[in-house]
Amino acid sequence: MNFLKNDGVEAEVGLPLQFTHGYSMPGARRVVFIATIFLMIFCALVTGMTLQWFSAQRDQMVNEAKLQNQMRARTFEQFTLRMLAVARQSLDYVGHELDHSPEMTGEELADVLREALGRSVILRGIYVRTPSARAATDRDFLLEPTLENELRERLAKFGGEGWLSRPLAIGAEKEVLALAIKPRADSERYLFAFFSPTVLTAFSEHDVYEESELISLIGLDGVTRIRRTGSNYTGGDNLAGTLVMRRQYANPNGTYIGPHSITGEPYIFSHRRIEDYHVFATSGMRRDRYLGALVQDRLIAIAVISISVVGSVIALAFLFVYLRRRARQVAAAQASIERLNYAQALGQLGDWEYNVSNATFIFSDNLQHIYGIDRAELGHLELTDFLNLESFSKFSEALDQIKANKTSKTFELEGRTADGSASMRRITASPQLDDEGQVVKIYGVDQSIDDERNLQFLRARAAAQARLQSMSALTATLAHEVNQPLTVIANFLSVAIRRLQDGKDGDRQVVTYLRKARKQVTLLGEMIGAARELVSPNDDATETFPLYDPVSDALELLEADPNYDTSSIHVDDTTAALHISGRKALVKQVFYNLIKNALEAGGDEPPKVEVQASAKGNWVEVSIRDDGPGFEMSNQAFDAFSSAKPEGLGLGLALSRTIVEAQGGRIWVEEPSGKGAEICFTLPRAEPFRNNGQ
């Protein structure tokens, strides 16, 4: 029945009626029709908006799942590299000992292996095969020939830093992985380290994994090294030819949705290729686990479409569900952040943010822990709490360059960690620009490179020993051949001095010059004797002396030569306060070579030469700077027989490098801020000797 109003009176009608104001039934139909059309449009809009929202929610969940999966795969990759580096350090130690004593017996080699095993908390055993012997930390790890040949063939086929084997059953160990390396391609020496596969997943042992989540390490040969699904650990499955291997070869660091290789269920997979060891880290989670949450959203969408007239109530219900879902997402993101922080702590790295407008830093929790600071926000000058003046200046200059160039920059400096020890750090910083192209913030990552520096130091020492051995024969020959004529010269000078002194009218000036000549012959003899000690294994010749002594001896030699004008040489007072440990005659030769080169670089006008020194922890760093033309090819400056001077042999800098490195230091060409050249080197620092009356 229709209830229509006529002059304020309600009438119940069932047939078309004519009203006095012209309000007829067809007009009501138009109203109903318009209202129906409006309602249909409204429902269509609500339906379209709901379906669009539902699709967006699905895409967002999939994207967030992919992002979480990628973060877990990256964390797994970094942790695996860290663990393999720990195992590699023990093997490098064994290789280093074999390089020094290649003919050691099997028992001596076994002692070295046990020492290397004690240096690592993750290794179960070590096995070494050399052309003359083989040894292991215990009998269980003496590999059978067939297994050893298999690992060696795999290593030869794939190359790289090493080969990570499939799970092996060796001795009492139920399942271990073997890291096989060949230190040098020109030798038949093979090193093997054994450890439990679960070591590689230890970063996640405190995380609760659902049965639909997994992480796995798979070799490029298709064999699984370790897989964790929920709380279960497996390995050894052969996945060669499956979709996961095809995807890995097509995109080594990609993310895709595909079937599980064993169960066939749809999963979201993320890969990270570890090229050096021919494996890749994989993180996976079942797609339905995330899309299953959309069932509730689908019911809400149906309710919104069905009862759009009460949209306010549905909106409140939607808001409640949305907020609850966001809370779960925030909790999941927080858990991911905590896992990332854990991985950063293992890698000794952290991140910071620099606000250009107020010159303040915000340090991450890991970075606060590393440097032992108790607050996140720091002013620029507060960096001096854990950076020395030189590192602080380098850091400030890098920030200025990033702001000026608006590009990323990577640099290295020395910091002081929470325990007070010095740590070399690598900083990578990148700017954030506003709409006008101005730098508003700078984000940076701070990572320890102490292990990398230690490895570089060991390699440099090994290279120095090799150069020292190659020069030993030449040095010994020179010492033998030159020493005889020096003895004759010294005898002649002594006789000449006695005869001049016997004469009543002897020329005192001649006597003075002859005495100086004999002194220089004596100093030259000491240098030759020190050179002979340099190539001998005798360490008792090391002495402690002020740094100024060899500088003064070198200047005296140059002053006696009329070809050099030493008036432009400035020696800093710090050289008298600092003491070093080494061989004085050889250190004098280094100063003589470097200062002479600086004087010869000036041409007709004597160049300005500055000699400075400063204490750097257990080392003394020396700098010799001139304002000459500089080095044309600084990377070849220390090569033997490489000289820019037509009359030069190119041995002075090569000999200086050999002397410095033989005493544990290093020498390099510093890039000058202006014209000229600057050579720096380090020598062991020593405390001055004090007589305490005992």
Query: Higher pLDDT residue, 298 or 523?
Result: 298
Least confident of 168-177, 509-518, 622-631: 509-518
Cα–Cα dist 516/503, whole Å: 20
Pairing, β 360-363 against β 377-379: antiparallel
User: What angle, 0 to 180 degrees and rounded to 10, lies between the N-to-C axes of helices 508-534 and 652-662?
Assistant: 60
**pTM summary value:** 0.40
DSSP string for residues in 542-590: -EEEETHHHHHHHHHHHHT-TT--GGGEEE-THHHH-EEEE-HHHHHHH
Q: Identify the band that residue 464 occupies on the pLDDT scale cut at 50, 70 and 90.
A: low
Cα–Cα dist 113/91, whole Å: 9
Residue among 137, 445, 75, 435 at smallest CA distance from 282: 75
DSSP state of 277: G
Q: Are 215 and 227 in contact (CB under 8 A)?
A: yes
Where do we find the tokens 């059953």?
169
Beta-carbon-side half-sphere exposure of residue 421 (alpha carbons within 13 Å): 7
Cα–Cα dist 394/403, whole Å: 14
The pLDDT of residue 679 is above 70? yes
Joined tokens for residue 179 = 């890291």
Mean pLDDT of the chain: 79
Per cent of the chain over pLDDT 70 is: 74
Q: Identify the band that residue 297 occupies on the pLDDT scale cut at 50, 70 and 90.
A: low
Greatest Cα-to-Cα distance within the chain, rounded to the nearest angstrom? 162
Per-residue pLDDT tens digits for 247-273: 888 999 988 888 887 788 888 899 999
In this prediction, residues 48-56 reach a mean pLDDT of: 78
DSSP state of 410: E
